[in-house]
Amino acid sequence: MTSQRTLGLLRQARLSRKQLILFALVSAVINGIITASVGAWLGQTYAKYQARKQSIESLVHLVYERRTRAGMVASALRRGADIEEVKYRKRAYDEAYVDWNKSIMQNIFAVREVTGEYFLSKLEGHFQDGLVAAMADVDRCLTKAYDARMAEQDSKIILEQCRMPVMHQFVLDCGATFTNEVYKLTKLSFIPFNTQLSEGPEKAEQRIAKACTRPPEPPPVVPVAPVMPAPAAPALSAPDATAPVVPPAPTVPAGSP
């Protein structure tokens, strides 16, 4: 009964068997094209996501390695370690410094691809003026203190003058916040009302700006000249009680012979 009804509907629609076969073939071709296109787009999107994720992870590795190596050199200088240990740690830091400069632009390009023009206008300024500049200051401080140690001078004074502990902590705060926020921007999600996506890059920029703003420099210490006490007035000597008292000479009136 069902087959008869189907054939009846086909006769009413005036569809021949050839037309049905052609319709099925066209539908299969269209579905195949759509499926292939969507599959290719998904594969390309996932590949880009993996590349961005790898670049961010590489940037995190470079930041933390250079900061850790710098802290190890500063620790050796601060506690007056053996000269060979200081040289070994400084050599390891120099290798991390070279790796940073070799790979930094490649990772910056990857971050630009993640955030687009927003990175160029907002985030890159915090990255260059905050994190990169602070790491350059740390490098100058370590180099100066290391040279002083090689010259058998006190390197701890130099570390205190350039505020090494403050800069070392700032690099951690700024670097961790920057990489974490950019990493969250690279998250692959197809949920339209995802909380992270609803925040957008503006919230990320606010958090990065807060963490990558340098602490104010302490006011310079102005040396105060010591106040010299006023010279004491000479003490009046008391009259000697044993000295003979000389009476005053008599006054002679004017006109007397």
Tens digit of pLDDT for each residue in 199-256? 567 788 888 889 988 877 766 555 555 555 656 555 555 555 555 555 555 555 555 4
**Segment among 76-85, 151-160, 225-234 with least mean pLDDT:** 225-234
pLDDT digits (tens, 9 = 90+) for 39-52: 676 666 667 777 77
**Segment among 8-17, 143-152, 177-186 with least mean pLDDT:** 8-17
Virtual torsion, Cα 165, 177, 140, 88, nearest 10 deg: 80
Residues 6+ apart with CB under 8 A from 132: 104
More confident residue, 198 or 204: 204
In a domain, 74, yes or no: yes
Q: Is 188 helix (H, G, I), strand (E, B) or coil?
A: coil
What stretches of 79-233 show up as alpha helix (H) in DSSP?
Answer: 83-115, 117-118, 124-126, 133-150, 155-161, 164-185, 195-211
- Write down how long the chain is: 257
In a domain, 250, yes or no: no
In a domain, 207, yes or no: yes
* % residues pLDDT > 90 (the chain): 29
pLDDT digits (tens, 9 = 90+) for 161-192: 999 999 999 999 999 998 888 888 776 655 54
Predicted local distance difference test score (pLDDT) of residue 145: 94
Q: Which band of pLDDT confidence, cut at 50, 70 and 90, is reported for residue 89?
A: very high
Domain that holds residue 159: 54-190+197-211
For the chain, the C-alpha Rg in angstroms (whole number) is: 42
Tell whether the model's pLDDT for residue 257 goes beyond 50. no
In a domain, 149, yes or no: yes
Q: Which band of pLDDT confidence, cut at 50, 70 and 90, is reported for residue 197?
A: very low
In a domain, 148, yes or no: yes
In a domain, 224, yes or no: no
Predicted local distance difference test score (pLDDT) of residue 69: 95
For the chain, the distance separating the N- and C-terminal CA atoms, rounded to the nearest angstrom, is 182
- Number of structural domains found in the chain: 1
In a domain, 11, yes or no: no
In a domain, 26, yes or no: no
